[in-house]
Chains A and B, each alone.
Chain A
């Protein structure tokens, strides 16, 4: 942060909470089914999959030429006259670590960034549970201290959604608190996939890179509010709105005397900021997606979880 801006009272956040209505459950159910099926199709081809030669039978899927005939279901072929293979869940279940930033900056935007991050996290959890993963849900910041939530079965998805719906943006502790914390880092190291949802404003890339290791997969979901992508839509300059406040520090910034020029410089800074994370992810095999809190998770989450 440049200079030493004055610390002042923080105005009320526009969207501090999370609302997950009943329809959301069916949304993520459909999404998880669709994504899990696609993943099965991809991973069977690559012989690298979460499902495989385990004991737990999951179901059937159409046979593809070249597949191992040992998994071919002859009975089904006799009955339906169509080739199917049996699908079993792997006995080596994967652990997923899902972290959601619930600091004050996530309360910005309409819809809020925390709302979008929670929806994305909820959908990811649904996918993970569908794939047989064990989920650990953690959050940073927030108005109340939240303990990690462990989810091991699909039936526990509701508990996970409850934990997500109880999140409220507040405080200054963001993702950095999670990735820099020894305790959290130790917990995350035991997991095969780490999913981080937040704005990554205050996160040190070096701390994120420390999470990598072994075959661990890292997914960085970066959400920004529409007005953060384009501050001009916040009514700047039209009615004296020319100051920005950091919801966490309360620091105020002006766009400068020349508002268009100030906005241009901001856009350049924002582009560089996003690119820095994108380049970092590409260089280290990390999945990274940045989106607007107004976007539906169905649009960006498949790429993020791939």
Chain B
């Protein structure tokens, strides 16, 4: 909106000033020497000759009613121009950009160029290009970049600073696609690969930068027999890949016996090899570090459980530096201490003894098997079939900035709008009073 500033006030509808031409014309016409309309009367001499000189002077000034009419017009036009106190600072917007970091985002945009641009790079590129195009004078923005993963990146930068490099690195474990609906809010921008429904975008006002992209064929699963390959066509049967080294898991010898037994059964059930070098293993199940003496003294046996099982736990170990490296707690004791943590390809156990309650042995087995399944890390080339599907066309939809104003800016604007409305009201009232005055003078015939 183009605003015209006058004495600390801005006219938000400067076009209304074109209306000033009317009072200006009236003023100019009032200075025109008027040619009097004459009425010939044989009895003209019966009129008292009053104010001949005054009449000639009067032609050079605005008469009372016209003066007030001009004042009414001026005030009315200024009111129509919607005056507001001039803004003391530019708008500041707070944007939150949620970045989808599910496996599909790290697939190549061009299936034929595996090392080329990835979907996440294209989507983030579109978002950062839009941010860079914002006018710093009028659309200053700060951006909160958020990776959609537990403990993921959450950093706030100025719009012109671009996006954090960390977002371009694949997460340490497989993430599911975000549930965008719960994230909709003013000033939110989604960076993903698949465009959302446009109507939903329009109604919510969120921004969306989606890379789109065709289906990417490739391995979608790995097992003891090797890889399963998807051709990229929906409905096509998966093809077995060339025979290679089977997936292998490593169970540490120091693990509690029930866990070792469970792990062996689980690996056998999945067709996985057990043992061997840690390097290249799809999953490592291991105990934590030996507890320090002080820490060990304060720890006794305890009972813990989840998913419907409970067990007596002893031989406590330390699980240090959990969150920083992508670890997620899986089993937590009553005192809040992490007993089992996991990350992609690794499960670490903070005890050496565990004895499940006899009544919950089945639940114990299912629960641990699910843990191992979730953190089994197939080779990086394996990406789930759903992730490899086509993401459709690219979408760039800018967010509605008005709702993303910084609260302080919003407050200042509200105060300015209030003062502006008061000024409008006063000008309108003044115009009405002046208009009535002009009308009254006119009716009295003194114009």
* A interface with B by C-beta (< 8 Å): 1-3, 5-6, 10-11, 13-14, 105-108, 113, 199, 201, 224-225, 227-228, 231, 234-237, 239-248, 251-260, 262, 265-266, 269-270, 273
Contact = CB atoms under 8 A, between A and B. Distances in A.
Most buried by B among A244, A265, A269: A244
A256 B38 contact: no
Contacts of B445: 237, 258-260
A10 to B, nearest CB: 8
Given A5-B52, A243-B38, A244-B38, A199 B47 contact: no
B50 A256 contact: yes
B446 A244 contact: no
Given A224-B43, A262-B47, A269-B46, A240 B38 contact: no
Given A240-B37, A242-B36, A259-B445, A199 B42 contact: yes
Contacts of A242: 36-37
Contacts of A257: 50-51, 54-55, 58, 446
Nearest to A273: B46
Interface of B: 34, 36-52, 54-55, 58, 445-446
Contacts of B36: 240-243, 252
Given A253-B49, A256-B48, A244 B37 contact: no
Contacts of A243: 36-39
B96 to A, nearest CB: 69
Contact of A241 (B37, B47, B54, B58): B37
Contacts of B46: 266, 269-270, 273
Contacts of A259: 445
B47 A251 contact: no
Contacts of A108: 40-42
Given A243-B37, A265-B48, A266-B47, A113 B42 contact: yes
Contacts of B55: 254, 257
B54 to A, nearest CB: 7
A241 to B, nearest CB: 4
Closest 8 CB pairs of A and B: A105-B42, A241-B37, A244-B44, A269-B46, A253-B47, A3-B49, A243-B36, A246-B44
B258 to A, nearest CB: 112
Contact of B50 (A237, A244, A262): A262
Nearest to A249: B45
Contacts of B58: 257
Given A254-B51, A262-B48, A246 B34 contact: no
Given A246-B40, A252-B38, A273-B46, 8 more contacts: A2-B45, A225-B42, A228-B41, A237-B445, A241-B36, A245-B40, A254-B51, A255-B47
Nearest to B35: A240
A166 B38 CA distance: 28
A240 B48 contact: no
24 contacts: A2-B49, A14-B40, A105-B42, A113-B42, A199-B42, A201-B42, A227-B41, A228-B41, A234-B41, A240-B34, A242-B36, A243-B37, A244-B44, A245-B38, A246-B40, A246-B44, A247-B41, A252-B38, A252-B52, A254-B47, A262-B50, A265-B48, A266-B46, A270-B43
Most buried by B among A224, A242, A254, A269: A254
Contacts of B42: 105-106, 108, 113, 199, 201, 224-225, 228, 246-248
A106 B54 CA distance: 31
Nearest to A245: B38
A199 B43 contact: yes
Nearest to B63: A257
Contacts of B34: 240
Contact of B39 (A227, A256, A273): A227
B29 to A, nearest CB: 12
B48 A251 contact: no
A204 to B, nearest CB: 14
Nearest to A4: B49
A245 B48 contact: no
Most buried by B among A6, A239, A241, A256: A256
A251 B50 contact: no
A14 B42 CA distance: 12
Contacts of B52: 3, 5-6, 252-254
Contacts of B45: 1-2, 201, 246, 251, 253
A241 B43 contact: no
B446 A258 contact: yes
Contacts of A273: 43, 46
A285 B49 CA distance: 35
A114 B41 CA distance: 13
B39 A241 contact: yes
A254 to B, nearest CB: 5
A5 B48 CA distance: 11
B401 to A, nearest CB: 57
Contacts of A239: 37
A252 B445 CA distance: 21
A11 B38 CA distance: 8
A256 B46 CA distance: 13
B444 to A, nearest CB: 9
Given A237-B445, A260-B445, A245 B41 contact: yes
B18 to A, nearest CB: 28
Contacts of A106: 42
Contacts of B40: 10-11, 13-14, 107-108, 244-247
B152 to A, nearest CB: 82
A73 B446 CA distance: 76
Contacts of B50: 254, 256-257, 262
Nearest to B43: A228
A257 B59 CA distance: 12
A201 B43 CA distance: 7
Nearest to A101: B42
A129 to B, nearest CB: 30
B31 to A, nearest CB: 15
A269 B41 CA distance: 14
A256 B51 CA distance: 6
Contacts of A224: 42-43
A254 B38 CA distance: 9
B446 A251 contact: no
Contacts of A3: 49, 52
A10 B42 CA distance: 12
Nearest to A238: B37
Contacts of A13: 40
A245 B39 CA distance: 6
A239 B49 CA distance: 21
A227 B445 CA distance: 20
Given A108-B41, A228-B42, A234-B39, A244 B49 contact: no
Nearest to B47: A253
A248 B52 CA distance: 19
